[in-house]
Amino acid sequence: MTVKKSYLFVPATSEKMMGKAIVSDADCVIFDLEDAVAIHEKDMARERAKNFLINNPPQKDVYIRINDFTTPLWRNDIDAAIDSGAFGIIVPKAENGINMYTICEYIKNRLECRGEGERIFEVLPLIETARGVHFAYEIANSHPFIARLVFGSIDYCLDLDCELTPGGDELIYARSQIVNSSIAAGIENPVDAVFPDLSNEDDLYNEAIRAKRCGFKAKLAIHPKQLNTIHRVFTPTEDEMEEAREIVKAFEEAELSGIASISVRNKLVDYPVYKKAKGLLQYSSK
């Protein structure tokens, strides 16, 4: 399993920036056709992103953030993502399961028409409104193409007309709801929002820590300079990895003898603790 801790946004209007993003340390890259693109440049940006991916097949997963479902642009954006070989799409302003199902079925039909019905294509709904948070489970559970949810805190606070603060208390409910909905729907843990202040590494670190404690396993980035901090937060320390290896080894040996409750480093280890340690070891290949 590939561990994805960072998703780097880049405007699809610039080939130079797309090229830099592809060779950056980001685990994934998002070519943006929505907020980063002016209305009169939408068609140009779509073709530029499509042609870039066709001519420069990336060595990492690239997603395309399409324009939202209420616009006439989303179908053309999806067609470009599929034709270019993108790994998936980001869907902004995701607010209900019906719209997400419609989008996913459109993708499914397009892939089948191309003879690519078995192709992996991820759809990541961006939850950035009160309605989206309220219906997060419905969205997460709407279609098998939904791989994980993504949080958009800036637009969420605009929708609520509340203040986005350094402490982040105003985001606790939304983050918890998004994580809980993801786990209940059986999809991957979600991706946390962008941090807009490129000059404040300390606050980026603190925000990433808060998101991690809520259950997020990755974070959006708007500049390559943010990647080191994001990776540092969402990558287990060597001591955590070593403890996980000890837990897995000891528990599996005990299980062979019919024992399902042991002590490792003076801590109780049962099935839930073992499963958590086993999951942590997926990072060992990164």
Where residue 182 sits, what CATH number does that domain have? Answer: 3.20.20.60
Picking from 192, 208, 234, the residue at the C-terminal end of a domain is: 234
DSSP reduced 3-state for 158? helix
Q: Which has more pLDDT, 2 or 183?
A: 183
Domain count of the fold of the chain: 2
Name the phi and psi angles at 39, rounded to 5: -55, -45
1 within a domain of the structure (yes/no): no
Cα(207)–Cα(213) distance, integer angstroms: 10
Query: What number of CA atoms fall less than 13 Å from residue 28's CA on the CB side?
Result: 24
| pLDDT, position 152 | 98
The pTM for the full model equals 0.91
pLDDT score for 86: 97
**Statement to judge: residues 140 and 280 lie in one domain:** no
- Confidence at residue 279, expressed as pLDDT on a 0 to 100 scale: 84
Binding residues for substrate: 65, 128
Query: What pLDDT does residue 280 have?
Result: 86
State the pLDDT confidence band at 284, using cuts at 50, 70 and 90.
low
Bridge partners for 263 per DSSP: 268
Q: Pick out the residues of the known binding site for Mg(2+).
A: 128, 155
Question: Residue 115: which domain range?
Answer: 6-234
Whether 150 and 38 map to the same domain: the answer is yes
Residues 175 and 281 in one domain: no
Annotated binding site: 65, 128, 155
